[in-house]
Amino acid sequence: MLKGKFEFNTDFFSSLIKPKSPPLIGVDISSSSVKMVELSSSGKGAYRLERYTIEPLPHEAVVDGNIMNLEQVGDSVRRAWKRMGTRIKTLAMAVPSAAVITKKIVLDAGQSEDDMEAQVEAEANQYIPFALEEVDLDFQVLGPDPNSPEQVEVMLAAARKEKVEDRVAVAETVGLKTTVMDIDAFAAQNALELMMAELPDSGRDQTIALVDIGASIMNVNILINNQSVYMREQPFGGLQLSQEIMRAYGMSMEEADAAKRNGNLPDNYQGDVLAPFMDTLGLEVVRALQFFFTSTQYSQVDQLYLSGGTASIPDLAEVVAERTQVNTVIANPFSGMEIPSRIKRAQLLIDSPSLLVSCGLALRRFDA
């Protein structure tokens, strides 16, 4: 079962044989901010949120998942780590899904690890449009092939080395060490499983949609029994709301972002700017689901989760639910966790939908 266990690094497949990961901070570098989450175990498979932080990034320091200004991103990572007040210096990070090629392949079961590595590398040549020395590779055995018990399904993943190395370099510039490199969609899926556990029968045999609304891209991941059956990106995000604020009130982008976060906007903002944006967002989600229905054999979605910073807009879940006719909630992977008194619960509720990837990365410390 695919649960986001990829660990890209420059030593081919060495991640598969290293010992259990040490304590980690999950670090998500998005287009708008650096998010950090630290978790601990509270016993019996339960978790405790130790600390978290969100540090804004300068505009265009990260564009479409690509680090454009390593120094600026490094400064934001440094500030975030200091605000966390942690001693942990080992990180789990993620590359954007758009920067990764994934392919499900079928191999003979019962192979030694060395033989499987060699066969995966040979198979990769067929699917990767780059020289193998230009990419970091990893794979995960998903389980027996349902059509042939003597074979196993394997997920191959490949990322351009520079995408991985840029994030490793950001950590190194501030004295931190990246020990896990995942894929953002799989990290989010890792955290989603915590929320699905609260559904009837833990969401078994239900069609679950996770819609992540980023700064400029909306990512849709649809899962059945914890396995992704459909992914799609659409060019829509919270940046459009900032642009509408700029146009309506003559603000700069920085002023619009600050006003959006602080709620310091004129009385007509709700009706003239925010409501039309929310309605458009609802229509974009409807459009994404229609693509899913027309390109697969599925005809319904049972549960929809909204994540990303834009998902914290009040009443957004209700607007999307009305448009899609699907039960919709705002993602909160911490709802079943122990929360220390030093963390403000009201603020955590606002921040939670933007912390899905960093939470999923932080969970990697508990991998066997």
pLDDT of residue 311: 95
Q: Is residue 6 part of a domain?
A: no
> Are 53 and 176 part of one and the same domain?
yes
> Are 211 and 143 part of one and the same domain?
no
Q: Give the list of residues 6+ apart from residue 214 with CB closer than 8 angstroms, or none.
A: 30, 31, 32, 237, 238, 308, 309, 310
pLDDT at 310 over 60: yes
Main-chain dihedrals φ then ψ at residue 24, nearest 5 degrees: -130, 155
Q: For residue 100, what pLDDT band results from cuts at 50, 70 and 90?
A: confident
- Read off the pLDDT of each residue in 36-60 and give the average, rounded to a whole number: 92
pLDDT digits (tens, 9 = 90+) for 267-305: 999 999 999 999 999 999 999 999 999 999 999 999 999
> Are 258 and 312 part of one and the same domain?
yes
Tokens of 354: 């933007």
pLDDT digits (tens, 9 = 90+) for 228-281: 899 999 999 999 999 999 999 999 988 898 888 888 899 999 999 999 999 999
Q: Is residue 129 part of a domain?
A: yes
Got the DSSP string for 259-307? HHHHT---TTHIIIIIHHHHHHHHHHHHHHHHHHHHHSS----SEEEEE
Q: For residue 10, what pLDDT band results from cuts at 50, 70 and 90?
A: very low
> Are 242 and 156 part of one and the same domain?
no
pLDDT of residue 124: 83
Q: Is residue 340 part of a domain?
A: no
> Are 290 and 149 part of one and the same domain?
no
pLDDT of residue 353: 97
Overall domain count for the chain? 2
Q: Is residue 339 part of a domain?
A: no
pLDDT of residue 99: 86
> Are 34 and 173 part of one and the same domain?
yes
Question: 202 — alpha (psi -120 to 50), left (phi > 0) or beta?
Answer: left
b vs e for 181-190, b when ≥16 Cβ sit within 10 Å of the residue's Cβ? bbbbbbbbbb
More confident residue, 351 or 15: 351
- Read off the pLDDT of each residue in 114-129 and give the average, rounded to a whole number: 84
CATH number assigned to the domain comprising residue 250: 3.30.420.40
pLDDT of residue 142: 81
Residue 327: closest CA among 205, 177, 206, 227:
206
Got the DSSP string for 305-342? EEESGGGGSTTHHHHHHHHH-S-EEE--TTTTSB--TT
More confident residue, 59 or 4: 59
Q: For residue 12, what pLDDT band results from cuts at 50, 70 and 90?
A: very low
pLDDT of residue 7: 60
Q: Which domain holds residue 145?
A: 14-192+353-366
pLDDT digits (tens, 9 = 90+) for 344-366: 999 999 999 999 999 999 999 98
pLDDT at 17 over 60: no
Q: Is residue 173 part of a domain?
A: yes
pLDDT of residue 259: 87
pTM: 0.88
pLDDT at 14 over 50: no
> Are 188 and 256 part of one and the same domain?
no
> Are 38 and 182 part of one and the same domain?
yes
Q: What is the mean pLDDT of the chain?
A: 89
Q: Is residue 8 part of a domain?
A: no
- Read off the pLDDT of each residue in 39-55 and give the average, rounded to a whole number: 92
Q: Is residue 2 part of a domain?
A: no
> Are 185 and 88 part of one and the same domain?
yes
More confident residue, 68 or 1: 68
Q: For residue 9, what pLDDT band results from cuts at 50, 70 and 90?
A: very low
Q: For residue 154, what pLDDT band results from cuts at 50, 70 and 90?
A: confident
Q: Is residue 310 part of a domain?
A: yes
pLDDT at 5 over 70: no
Report the largest interatomic distance among the alpha carbons of the chain, rounded to a whole angstrom.
66
